Amino acid sequence: MTIEQKQLQNKKSEQEQNNETIMQASHIKKYFPIKGGIFKHTIGHVKAVDDVSLSIKKGETLGLVGESGSGKSTLGRVLLRLLEPTEGEVIFEGKDISHLNNRKLRAYRKHMQIVFQDPFASLNSKMSVGELIEEPLLVQTSVSKPERKQMSVELLEKVGLRANDRAKYPHEFSGGQRQRISIARALALNPKFIICDEPVSALDVSIQAQVLNLMADLQEEYHLTYLFIAHDLSVVKHISDRVAVMYLGRIAELAPKEQLYQNPLHPYTKALLSSVPSTNVREKREKIKLSGDLPSPANPPSGCVFRTRCPMAHDRCISEIPALSEMEKGHFVACHLYE
Amino acid sequence: MKENPVLEVSNLKTYFYLENNFVARAVDGVDFTIHQGETLAIVGESGSGKSITSLSIMQLINKPGKIVDGTICLEGDNLLTKSSKQMTKIRGNDIAMIFQEPMTALNPVYTIGSQIVETIRKHKNLSKHAARERVIELLNLVGFPRAKEVMNEYPHQLSGGMRQRAMIAMAISCDPKLLIADEPSTALDVTIQAQILDLLMEMKERLNMSILLVTHDLGVVAEYADRVLVMYGGQIVEETTVEAIFEETKHPYTIGLLESLPSLEKEVKRLGAIKGSVPPAYLFPKGCRFADRCPHVMDQCRESNPELLSIAPTHKARCYLYELGGGHSHDNRAKTTAEQKI
């Protein structure tokens, strides 16, 4: 076999691998009860995630955007099984984990990790950096102490910190460095799937770029799959392969990034993209203005949840919930305009 | 450009006296002018001194901080010589301010109406009834469809965008000459951010105010500002018009900042991150404050801090790259070398 053939074969097997689904969510609902009255009856539900289905392929980055209250973080926590879904299935590598108990889940935990938004709140301030990074190894594996130390040093160097930072405490680091520590900690168990919940939104632009570059490098090196949750559309565009747009607990549009950004179909996606301030001072884009605020997820509008702010809303939107349907290959949209 | 300065700040220095004799030079020799009807943006990362500059104008600096030098002239009148009583009259009346987080800026135990009425009655000789009428008018103006009801509501009953609207209503209630907006849209979602900033600009036109827009978001700068100051390490490193800051960028820091920004329009494989992080204000190097992070650093940069040089009639930069070449012929030097690096 010539080298070229070999490369071709490698490429093929890579592609096959690329099409393998690592995480499949179908018809996920997560309702939080609202308690009221003297006996704390359930008087309603906050429908944080309402009938969401998506699949994440091995090695890709799926971006999840939406405004605050759209349910993107809740969805992330359900996929990780930090929350149990009210309805629906979460399938990780072919195994339904949606209702496993904590003990059985532990075997899956090491394959799935999360990096949180606020590196000031997510690191225990009383633990040294070494302890923080070694903790997952201590809980999940039977690696000996010197080996753990060795591994934490390697991880620190991997994320651009120094070996002698092991003995320091989180308060001695800046925001960007702390986020590096969180990433090292998430990588400790060599996971397959990482949820990044607004990992760079608390950081300054120059630091944000450093962390985004680091995350892209690590993805390549460790063949990681990311679910990247963020509200910043330009950041999501930079890092993602496919992007899902959420609005009030539902997916409005899901598409490969080029299609989503160049040819958005859903009126909400269009409005969202047009509201991002552009650094192009010569050509001003036409802005689609949305009036009003996000409705309360405790009492979402009937039919299409976006209809109260949609410039194109018509009668059908009030009565019927639009289904997420495929318009072109891989491009899904939930809107009556395209049916 | 209308040559009618509203605010002139010169050589402003605000230092913080910390423990162990450390002195944080948060604002260190800042000069700028805002003209009437102009929107001047101050951009910078956290720790650059942009917020302390705006707080210094309002004289809202508390111990251990102190304005140690400089003048701040509002229409020719130096505010730094005023007593605190006189300043109270100026704040809210001549200069108003909007903060990033409206929930912390509004008092949670008073209704929206009573808080704005208080501001108006403090500065204008109006009866309670007339003041209430004025508040309803203001709330309508900033886009509350049910202004009368909002009067009697508390801040927690409003959404983030609505609270920021209420803050704007309060800020413009006494027709200020200058409005300082410190990250007015940072805590809001993009669709709401556009609403609030458009409202701010509409109010500016209507009342012929000047706006000092403090922000970290270069997109917001591009869309709303007329002129831009880029701050780094307590000093202005570049000052120019909004077109020139994006198209004829001079200072290596500004160039780095623009390259680290992911954009909707163009696709890059890797972002051009600036290495390292902002030094703390009590540990500035003796030379150029950006030297440790600069890709073009020279020996000279470590020796002494460059002056803010005029390199074109409306363009200033604090960098030795432009001093050596003597201006125009080397205009794009920093930029081209930066491009080569990528």
Question: What pLDDT score was predicted for residue B332?
Answer: 47
Would you state the pLDDT for residue B338? 44
Alpha-carbon distance of B323 to B238, in angstroms, equals 14
Window B:46-65, CB contacts with A under 8 Å: 46
Task: Say if residue A230's pLDDT is above 60.
Answer: yes
Intra-chain end-to-end CA distance of chain B, in Å: 37
**Contact check, Cβ <8 Å, B261/A271:** no
> Which pLDDT belongs to residue A17?
52
Those residues whose C-beta lies under 8 Å from the C-beta of residue B210, and which sit 6 or more positions away, are: B6, B7, B34, B35, B36, B37, B38, B39, B40, B177, B178, B179, B204
What is the edge-to-edge ordering of all strands in the sheet holding A193-197? Answer: A112-115, A193-197, A225-230, A61-65, A242-247, A250-256, A331-333, A325-328
Residues A142-153 have a mean pLDDT of 92
The beta-carbon neighbor of B262 closest among A234, A275, A277 is: A234
> What are the C-alpha distances in Å from B26 to residues A238, B11, B56, B100?
33, 13, 11, 19
More confident residue, B189 or A264: A264
CA distance B218 to B31: 21
Q: Is a pLDDT exceeding 90 seen at residue B154?
A: yes
Question: Which residue from B minimizes the CA distance to A70?
Answer: B189
Average pLDDT over residues A124-152: 92
A281–B247: do the CB atoms touch at under 8 Å?
A: yes
User: Mean per-residue pLDDT for B299-310?
Assistant: 92
Tens digit of pLDDT for each residue in B16-74?
999 888 999 999 999 999 999 999 999 998 889 999 999 999 999 988 999 999 999 99
Q: Return the DSSP state at B91.
A: B
Confidence of residue B339 (pLDDT cuts 50, 70, 90): very low
CA-wise closest residue to A88 among A119, A49, A59? A49
A31: which strand partners? A47
Q: Is the pLDDT assigned to residue A256 strictly greater than 90?
A: yes
CB B322 within 8 Å of CB B250: yes
Instruction: Select from B223, B268, B278 the Cβ nearest to the Cβ of A277.
Output: B223
Asked whether the beta carbons of B253 and B274 are under 8 A apart, the reply is yes
Looking at CA atoms only, how far is residue B99 from chain A in angstroms? Answer: 18
Q: Which long-range contacts (CB under 8 A, 24 or more apart) does B71-75 make?
A: B71/B8, B71/B9, B71/B10, B71/B11, B71/B12, B72/B7, B72/B8, B72/B9, B72/B12, B73/B7, B73/B8, B73/B9, B73/B10, B74/B6, B74/B7, B74/B177, B74/B178, B75/B5, B75/B6, B75/B177
Backbone angles phi, psi at B108, to 5 degrees: -70, -20
| C-beta separation of A3 from A62 below 8 A | no
Pick left, alpha or beta for residue A190 (phi over 0 → left; psi -120 to 50 → alpha; otherwise beta).
left
Region B274-300: mean pLDDT is: 90
Q: Does B340 touch chain A (CB under 8 A)?
A: no
CA neighbor of A19 nearest in space, from A221, A204, A205, A225: A225
Domains defined along chain B, listed by start? 7-225 (3.40.50.300), 239-341 (no CATH)
| pLDDT, tens only, B168-208 | 999 999 999 999 999 998 888 888 888 899 999 999 999 99
Extended beta strands in chain B, E state: 5-17, 23-35, 39-43, 65-74, 77-78, 95-98, 178-182, 210-215, 227-232, 235-241, 309-312, 315-317
Shortest CA distance from B244: residue in chain A: A281
Strand partners, B17: B23
Write phi, then psi, for B6 (nearest 5 degrees): -95, -45
Interface size, chain A vs chain B, as Cβ–Cβ contacts under 8 Å: 122
* Closest A-chain CA to B192: A293
Pair B316, B332: CB distance under 8 Å: no
The mean pLDDT of A151-172, rounded to a whole number, is: 92
Please report where in the chains the tokens 């803010």 appear, as a residue. B308
* Sequence-separated (6 or more) residues with CB below 8 Å from residue B79: B57, B59, B72, B73, B87, B90
The per-residue pLDDT for A185 is 93
Instruction: Give A276's contacts in chain B (Cβ within 8 Å).
Output: 190, 219, 264
pLDDT, tens only, B97-151 = 998 887 788 999 999 999 999 999 999 889 999 999 999 999 999 988 888 899 9
Q: How are beta strands B39-43 and B210-215 bridged, if at all?
A: parallel
Query: Could you report the per-residue pLDDT of A14-49, keeping only the tens digit for each?
Result: 555 557 899 999 999 999 999 888 888 888 899 999
pLDDT for res B160:
85
Confirm if B179 and B171 have CB atoms less than 8 A apart.
yes
Lowest mean pLDDT among A10-14, A286-290, A333-337: A10-14
Percent of chain B whose predicted confidence (pLDDT) is above 90: 68
Sheet holding B5-17, edge to edge: B23-35, B5-17, B65-74, B77-78
Return the structure tokens found at B202: 């509409």
Kindly tell me if the per-residue pLDDT of A126 is higher than 90. yes
Q: Which residues contact B10 (CB under 8 A, 6 or more apart)?
A: B31, B70, B71, B73
Rounded Cα–Cα distance for residues B291 and B149 (Å): 55
* Mean of pLDDT over chain A: 89
Contact B219 A276 (CB under 8 A): yes
Partners of residue A206 in chain B, C-beta under 8 Å: 45, 256-257, 260, 273-274, 277
What pLDDT score does B320 carry?
Answer: 92
pLDDT recorded at residue B329: 38
pLDDT tens digit sequence for A72-99 = 999 999 999 999 999 999 999 999 999 9
- The answer, yes or no, to whether residue B275 has pLDDT greater than 80, is yes
Residue B330 has pLDDT above 50, yes or no: no
Residues 6+ apart with CB under 8 A from B42: B50, B53, B54, B212, B213, B214, B215, B228, B229, B231
Rg (CA), chain B: 21
Give B190's contacts in chain A (Cβ within 8 Å).
67, 231, 233, 272, 275-276
State yes or no: pLDDT of B249 exceeds 80: yes
Looking at chain A, which residue has its C-alpha nearest residue B221?
A: A279
Contact between B226 and B39 under an 8 Å Cβ cutoff? The reply is yes
A293, two tokens: 């605020």
In angstroms, rounded to a whole number, what is the distance separating the alpha carbons of residues B190 and A231? 8
Look at phi and psi of residue B326 and say left if phi exceeds 0, alpha if psi is from -120 to 50, else beta: left
Task: Produce one character per residue of B131-154: b if its CB has 16 or more CB atoms within 10 Å, e if not.
Answer: bbebbbebbebbbbeebeebbebe
H helices present in chain A, as ranges: 3-19, 72-79, 102-109, 129-140, 145-158, 175-187, 205-222, 233-239, 257-262, 267-275, 315-319
pLDDT at B257 over 60: yes
pLDDT band at A320 (very low <50, low <70, confident <90, very high): very high
pTM surpassing 0.90?
no
Answer whether B222 sits within 8 Å of A213, measured CB to CB. no
DSSP structure string for B304-321: SPPP-EEEETTEEE--HH
What crossing angle do the helices spanning B333-341 and B252-259 adopt, rounded to 10°? 40
The average pLDDT across B155-161 equals 88
For B283, the token pair is: 């540990």
Q: Tell me the pLDDT of chain B averaged across its residues.
A: 88
Q: What is the pLDDT of residue A202?
A: 84
Q: Which residue would you say has higher pLDDT here, A320 or A290?
A: A320
The reported pLDDT for the residue numbered A6 is 54
pLDDT at A8: 54
Q: Do A139 and A107 form a contact (C-beta atoms < 8 A)?
A: no
| Rounded average pLDDT over B269-283 | 86
> Is the per-residue pLDDT at B342 higher than 50?
no
What local confidence, expressed as pLDDT, does residue B96 receive?
94
Cβ count near A144 (within 10 Å): 10
- CA distance linking residue B92 with residue B101, whole number of Å: 18
Query: What pLDDT score does A11 carry?
Result: 52
Q: Which of A159, A205, A261, A276 to mutate to test the interface with B (most CBs of B within 10 A)?
A: A205
- Answer whether A50's CB lies under 8 Å from A231's CB: no
CA distance A244 to A266: 11
Cβ atoms of B292 and B285 within 8 Å: the answer is yes
Given pLDDT bands bounded at 50, 70 and 90, which one contains residue B2?
Answer: low
